């Protein structure tokens, strides 16, 4: 059997799969948008909760959350900022990879700072969020993002 006759059908199958569900496909863009929207919901809601009762937030950062190297008030402000700004930028698709890296760091610091008090299911949530954030950081936001639309328009 000729090698070319077996490679050609496999190449066609791969090309078809890439078009349907590859990193640049419409389906992948929808899945990435859903991931970005979910991450926005989780982290933005947490940031709003911190803003809503700032005194309790400061108390938690003083007594419960042990953010290394930072005073509690600064850690609370930076954490709240990160939970509000990074998911917003990532959802809109404005500097999405940079926003994802920032949000990954917020998630990592939260998990490490509160590790002793986290249940197994909470650790799993932080892990899943970290994986979703890492996917957006590495693959990009897909077609449904301001960043991608801007890049297309600039060409």
Whole-number percent of the chain with pLDDT over 90: 65
Output 91 or 149, whichever has higher pLDDT: 91
**How far does CA 9 lie from the centroid of its chain?**
37
Contact between 113 and 72 under an 8 Å Cβ cutoff? The reply is no
pLDDT average, residue stretch 60-72: 92
* Confidence check: pLDDT of 94 > 90: yes
Contact between 39 and 87 under an 8 Å Cβ cutoff? The reply is yes
C-alpha angle 128-79-120 in degrees, rounded to nearest 5: 35
CA-only gyration radius of the chain, Å: 20
pLDDT tens digits, 36-59: 999 999 999 999 999 999 999 999
Contact between 33 and 136 under an 8 Å Cβ cutoff? The reply is no
Least confident of 23-32, 44-53, 67-76: 23-32
Contact between 108 and 129 under an 8 Å Cβ cutoff? The reply is no
pLDDT tens digits, 127-150: 999 999 999 999 999 888 998 878
How far, in Å, CA of 86 to CA of 102, rounded? Answer: 6
How far, in Å, CA of 13 to CA of 82, rounded? Answer: 42
Residues 6+ apart with CB under 8 A from 35: 132, 135, 136
């Amino acid at each position: 059997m000729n090698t070319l006759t077996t490679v050609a059908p496999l190449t066609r199958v791969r090309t078809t799969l890439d078009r349907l569900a590859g990193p640049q496909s419409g389906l992948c863009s929808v899945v990435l948008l859903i991931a970005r929207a979910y991450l926005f919901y989780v982290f933005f809601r947490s940031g709003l909760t911190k803003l809503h009762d700032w005194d309790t937030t400061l108390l938690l950062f003083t007594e419960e959350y042990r953010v290394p190297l930072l005073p509690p008030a600064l850690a609370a402000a930076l954490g709240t900022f990160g939970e509000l700004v990074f998911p917003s930028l990532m959802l809109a698709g404005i500097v999405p990879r940079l926003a994802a890296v920032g949000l990954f760091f917020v998630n990592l610091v939260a998990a490490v700072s509160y590790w002793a008090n986290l249940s197994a299911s909470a650790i799993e949530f932080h892990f899943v969020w970290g994986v979703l954030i890492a996917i957006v950081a590495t693959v990009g936001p897909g077609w449904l993002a301001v960043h991608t639309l801007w890049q297309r328009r600039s060409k």
